[in-house]
């Protein structure tokens, strides 16, 4: 009889909540965060273990990375080859890791952000430290193994790492709702701290910092907030300020040059190129005139960025300017988050070392229990063989008189003599007294005849004596804390001697950089922007001499100060702020610079619809008009922000801004629709709104109609000029419309359908 189907009702939100929590924990534990014991993420652990299993040791030939990645993915890590290869590459990059764990052969990327070659080209093998300190005791049952994803293989749940790798190599990763960022540290210092804490487990974070001075980045640099490090290590969170190292060299002709030989750890990759651009920007914006040339002479031998200076340049002032205005001084955010006891935890320096020391004692305990068990089994067999040598004639007699191996074994273990032919009754009685263990009996039966030679017996007895010493030693290590501590410390000393290196990062205190900037002399200038988005500025005299050409060639002409900011309003409702100091200043016939290069404006995604000076709108209002005829006035002070890009207005779906204007209380507005309707009303009818508001309707539009053009009439001015030129008439759809003859109506009306006149030239 078929079982009836049962439908179980459940709350959808509860199912989603539980599923998301399960997913989040899977990402946190199984992918993004390192384990505090070995300092490795699962993908790193699996890659190293796979290389160990494949026999790709430090003293053997390199193997193709594609082979390593494929084997790891097929056996242990089914999350795609990219994540595995990326992890493999990072473990081989000496500019990212305090101690590289993989020895890469081929193009594994550069400190300047160049990516590694494809995995089919590169080769790799384990580093010696990885084999010695990470994988050495896997055959001694020191860590637990678990099934892989399809339960066809076994993989270690943690590697038997002998050093606090979480500190030595650091970590970074983004999980669901949490992030880890741990700086690298000096191996020798970390080992000294571990040894000190093994000897005295009451040491505080402050005590431990006598050994671990602070982070030690592979790129060197200078940490300049030494006094804040203690709090960072106590809480596991904080910010480390790090500078690049700048040296002064003598150049030709008595000139000096600044040479950057070390960079902040945060600058590696594309940020080196960004730094060069920042230095160039300092020169272009006239923040400094001392730099005459910049060149990146970095190579495989190290970083070397050269700044050529003018004769008599103030090098100290220039250094401070670089630290203040570029990423040559940067901040490394610390969040020492790792998986401890199966759950994510923010750890202090002391806590990390505590977990590591506990792990070391666990590894050593399991290792020597395994060794003790082997030695005791060996001792048992050795004792049996020694006893057998003393009664070898009897054993030979038993062998010759027996019919099977089992019969001989039963006699050796239990003294059973039935069915065995003996030469004498005396031999039978002696055989009945035998009581070898089963392991000893098997060893006796497998023993070769040459072991009966006198010298071989002596060797056997010497081996047994050594075995007894090993047993006593292992028992002492297992039963005595001090003895086990000595073993661990001895191993750490050996690792420090072979793999330790001098500190690279300097630790010191440095005050906040104060730059006395020379105030810029305020000068009146004219901002010019053509319809293609090229901008430049000229002085007023130059503009007056070329006024006709400037007005004809430029879409926007603004009279402002060289300290002003320009607001560029776009059709998607944003405003980009551009400093006049960033705008090229010079000759009238200069082409100018694309505005895309000077601010966040992106000509590929948006179009500018209005350009206004901040000084002109700060104390007035800005009027917005959209394609769907929504209008509003926004106080100009709302756009006075330090941000380079801000929201200027809120738009309805499918709408866009088509006009922005700094209107006065006497201004009138004319909206022209695609359908040929014109509506003229006073701007004063438009209410003031916040920039986050949509606005109000300015004109009633028919189905499918939209606003196409906007005109501004300044009442009380000669000829009632409209924005952009002096004219009463405008060309609209190849027809002439006389703006001054339009009837003034109220806002939110349909307007007047214009009877198109014959085409004529505007007066």
Q: What number of other Cβ atoms are within 10 A of residue 522's Cβ? A: 10
Contact indicator for 500, 187 with CB cutoff of 8 Å: yes
Q: What is the mean pLDDT of residues 171-196?
A: 91
pLDDT, residue 113, reads 87
d(Cα 714, Cα 664) in Å, to the nearest integer?
Answer: 8
* Across 455-459, 501-505, 536-540, least confident range: 455-459
Tokens of 669: 């507005």
pLDDT band at 648 (very low <50, low <70, confident <90, very high): very high
HSE-CB of 454 using CA atoms within 13 angstroms: 0
**For residue 762, is pLDDT > 60?**
no
Q: 479: which residues sit within 8 A by CB, 6+ positions away?
A: none
Q: How far apart are CA 371 and CA 320, in angstroms?
A: 60
Mean pLDDT over 250-279 rounds to 89
Burial letters 241-260, b for 16+ CB under 10 A, else e: bbbbbbeeeeeeeeebbbbb
632 phi and psi, to 5 degrees? Answer: -170, 165
Distance of CA 426 to the CA centre of its chain: 83
Quote the tokens at residue 341: 């006891």
Measuring CA to CA, how many Å separate 246 from each of 175, 263, 428, 514, 712?
36, 9, 93, 18, 57
Q: For residue 589, what pLDDT is reported?
A: 82
CA distances from 707 to 52, 312, 393, 698 (A): 71, 61, 118, 10
Cα–Cα distance for residue pair 630/674, rounded to 1 Å? 15
Report the distance separating Cα 31 and Cα 172, nearest Å.
12
- Enter the DSSP assignment of 430: H
> CA end-to-end span of the chain, whole Å?
98
The catalytic site residues sit at: 121
**CA-CA distance, 358 to 732, in Å (whole number)?**
83
Residues paired with 523 in a beta bridge: none
The answer for 167, left when phi > 0, alpha when psi is -120 to 50, beta otherwise, is: alpha
How confident is residue 656, by pLDDT bands cut at 50, 70 and 90?
Answer: very high
Residues 6+ apart with CB under 8 A from 433: 415
Query: Are 211 and 188 a contacting pair, CB within 8 Å?
Result: no
pTM: 0.72
Distance CA(181)–CA(236), nearest Å, equals 10
To 10 degrees, what angle do helices 481-499 and 349-390 make? 110
Bridge partner list, 103: 125
Give residue-wise pLDDT tens across range 83-110.
Answer: 999 999 999 999 999 999 999 999 999 9
- Mean pLDDT on 677-696: 91
Q: What is the CA 602 to chain-centroid distance, rounded?
A: 27
Quickly state the pLDDT bin for 763 (edges 50, 70, 90).
very low
Angle at 272 between CA 271 and CA 273, to 5 degrees: 90
Query: From residue 503, how far is each of 59, 190, 213, 705, 761 by CA, in Å?
Result: 27, 11, 10, 72, 80
The pLDDT score that the predictor gives to residue 395 is: 86
pLDDT recorded at residue 92: 96
Of how many residues is the chain composed? 763
Instruction: Grade residue 734 by pLDDT with cuts at 50, 70 and 90.
Output: low
CA distances from 532 to 25, 552, 620, 729 (A): 52, 14, 28, 26
Task: Give the alpha-carbon dihedral of 532, 534, 540, 546, to 10 degrees.
Answer: -50
CB 386 within 8 A of CB 240: no
Task: Give which of 199, 137, 191, 167 is closest to 484, Cα–Cα.
Answer: 199
What digits encode the pLDDT tens for the residues 580-611? 888 888 788 888 889 988 888 888 899 999 99
């Amino acid at each position: 009889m078929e079982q009836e189907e049962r439908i179980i009702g459940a709350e959808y939100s509860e199912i989603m909540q539980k599923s998301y929590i399960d997913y989040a924990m899977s990402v946190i534990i199984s992918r993004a965060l390192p384990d505090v014991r070995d300092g490795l993420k699962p993908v790193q652990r699996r890659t190293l273990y796979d290389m160990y299993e494949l026999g790709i040791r430090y003293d053997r030939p390199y193997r193709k990375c594609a082979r390593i990645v494929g084997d790891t993915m097929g056996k242990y890590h089914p999350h795609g080859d990219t994540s595995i290869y990326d992890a493999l590459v990072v473990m081989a990059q000496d500019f990212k890791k305090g101690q590289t764990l993989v020895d890469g052969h081929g193009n594994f990327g550069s400190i300047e952000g160049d990516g590694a070659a494809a995995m089919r080209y590169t080769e790799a093998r384990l580093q010696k430290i990885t084999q010695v300190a990470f994988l050495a005791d896997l055959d001694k049952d020191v860590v637990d193994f678990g099934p892989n994803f399809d339960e066809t293989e076994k993989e270690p749940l943690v590697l038997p790492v002998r050093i606090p790798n979480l500190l030595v190599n650091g970590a970074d990763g983004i999980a669901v709702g949490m992030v880890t960022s741990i700086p690298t540290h000096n191996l020798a210092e970390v080992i000294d701290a571990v040894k000190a804490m093994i000897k005295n487990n009451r040491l505080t974070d402050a005590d431990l910092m006598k050994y671990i001075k602070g982070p030690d980045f592979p790129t060197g640099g200078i940490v300049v907030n030494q006094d804040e490090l203690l709090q960072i290590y106590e809480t596991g969170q904080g910010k480390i300020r790090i500078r690049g190292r700048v040296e002064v060299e003598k150049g030709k002709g008595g000139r000096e040059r600044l040479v950057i030989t070390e960079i902040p750890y945060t600058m590696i990759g594309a940020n080196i190129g960004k730094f060069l651009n920042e230095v160039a920007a300092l020169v272009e914006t006239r923040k400094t005139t001392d730099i005459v040339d910049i060149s990146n002479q970095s190579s495989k031998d190290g970083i070397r960025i050269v700044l050529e200076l003018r004769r008599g340049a103030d090098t100290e002032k220039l250094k401070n300017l670089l630290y203040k205005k570029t990423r040559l001084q940067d901040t490394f955010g610390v969040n020492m988050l790792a998986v401890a006891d199966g759950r994510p935890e923010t750890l202090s320096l002391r806590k990390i070392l505590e977990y590591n020391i506990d792990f070391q004692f666990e590894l050593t305990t399991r290792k020597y229990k395994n060794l003790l068990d082997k030695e005791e089994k060996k001792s048992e067999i050795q004792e049996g063989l020694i006893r057998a040598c003393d009664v070898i004639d009897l054993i030979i007699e038993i062998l010759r008189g027996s019919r099977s191996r089992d019969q001989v074994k039963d006699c050796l273990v239990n003294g059973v003599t039935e069915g065995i032919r003996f030469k004498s009754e005396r031999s039978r009685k002696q055989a009945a007294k035998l009581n070898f263990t089963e392991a000893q009996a098997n060893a006796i039966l497998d023993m070769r005849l040459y072991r009966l030679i006198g010298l071989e017996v002596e060797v056997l007895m010497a081996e047994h004596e050594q075995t007894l010493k090993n047993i006593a030693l292992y028992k002492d290590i297992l039963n005595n804390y001090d003895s086990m501590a000595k073993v661990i410390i001895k191993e750490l000393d050996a690792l420090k001697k072979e793999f330790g290196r001098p500190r690279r990062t300097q630790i010191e205190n440095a005050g906040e950089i104060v730059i006395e900037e020379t105030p810029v002399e305020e000068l009146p200038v004219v901002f010019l922007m053509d319809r293609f988005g090229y901008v430049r500025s000229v002085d007023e005299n130059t503009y007056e001499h070329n006024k006709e050409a400037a007005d004809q060639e430029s879409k926007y002409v603004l009279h402002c100060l060289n300290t002003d900011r320009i607001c560029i309003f776009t059709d998607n409702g944003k405003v980009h702020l551009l400093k006049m100091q960033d705008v090229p200043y010079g000759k009238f016939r200069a082409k100018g610079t694309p505005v895309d290069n000077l601010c966040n404006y992106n000509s590929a995604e948006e179009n500018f619809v209005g350009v206004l000076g901040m000084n002109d709108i700060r104390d007035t209002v800005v009027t917005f008009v959209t394609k769907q005829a929504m209008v509003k006035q926004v106080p100009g002070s709302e756009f006075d922000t330090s941000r380079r890009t801000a929201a200027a207005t809120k738009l309805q779906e499918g709408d866009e801004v088509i006009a922005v204007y700094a209107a006065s209380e006497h201004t009138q507005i004319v909206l022209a629709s695609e359908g040929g309707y014109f509506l003229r009303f006073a701007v004063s009818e438009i209410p003031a709104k916040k920039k986050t508001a949509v606005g109000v309707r300015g004109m009633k539009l028919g189905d499918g109609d939209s606003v196409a053009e906007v005109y501004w009439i300044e009442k009380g001015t000669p000829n009632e000029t409209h924005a952009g030129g002096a004219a009463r008439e405008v060309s609209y759809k190849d027809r002439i419309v006389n703006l001054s003859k339009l009837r003034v109506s109220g806002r939110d009306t349909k307007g007047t359908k214009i009877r198109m006149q014959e085409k004529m030239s505007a007066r």
